Structure 1
Amino acid sequence: MARGQQKIQSQQKNQEKMAKLKKQQGSSQIGTAAAALKHSCAVCKSQMPDAKTYKQHFENKHPGKELPAELKDVQ
């Protein structure tokens, strides 16, 4: 076990190391998740990650509306 000055130096070194790691990680999960939502519903403006999910959403939540052109060829 380190004692005295060694302990303080070790703690400072560890703090610097952790600060570098945190800086490298960058943004939080919220920013990453928001970037993954690429499609936005034309009617209710809710966001979806892919076209297939968007089509399912549109068919279930807006059955009376006509399907948007970008979703007509999605399986």
Structure 2
Amino acid sequence: MARGHQKAQSQAKNLAKQAAMKSKQGHNANEQKKAALKALTFQCPVCRGMMPDPKTYKQHFENKHPKDPLPEELKDL
């Protein structure tokens, strides 16, 4: 019967360890999502796609929307 008791203790310990790891991981994922959203500063007026910098934004616009006129903020680049 000693092994049955050890098994139950081991399972309880493992369950607590996994719960702690899951809560820690979820917290970091939320922080990463918030940081990624802060980095995306330019929004395409046609498709509402988000871009991190003007160079990427201009490349996106030229490749995805070639028939549309270039927005004012990209004309000087």
- TM-score normalised by the chain length of structure 2: 0.65
How far apart are the structure 1 equivalents of 2:35 and 2:75? 21
How many corresponding residue pairs? Answer: 71
Higher RCO (C-alpha 8 Å, min separation 6)? 1
Residue segments in structure 1 that go unaligned for 5+ positions in a row: none
Q: CA deviation at 1:55?
A: 1.6
Query: What do residues 9-62 of structure 1 show as CA deviations (whole Å, max 9, x unaligned)?
Result: 011001001100100111696x945852513211221223x2232221111122
2:4 matched residue in structure 1: 4
Return the structure number with greater helix share.
2
Distance 1:34 1:25 in 2: 15
Runs of 5+ unmatched residues, structure 2: none
Match of 1:67 in 2: 71
| 1:1-75 matched pairs, under 5 angstroms | 3-26=3-26, 32=32, 36-37=36-37, 38=40, 39-48=42-51, 50-51=52-53, 52-63=55-66, 64-69=68-73, 72-73=76-77
Q: Which runs of 4+ in 1 moved over 4 A?
A: 31-35
C-alpha RMSD over aligned residues: 3.2
Q: Is the 8 A contact 2:43 2:49 kept in 1?
A: yes
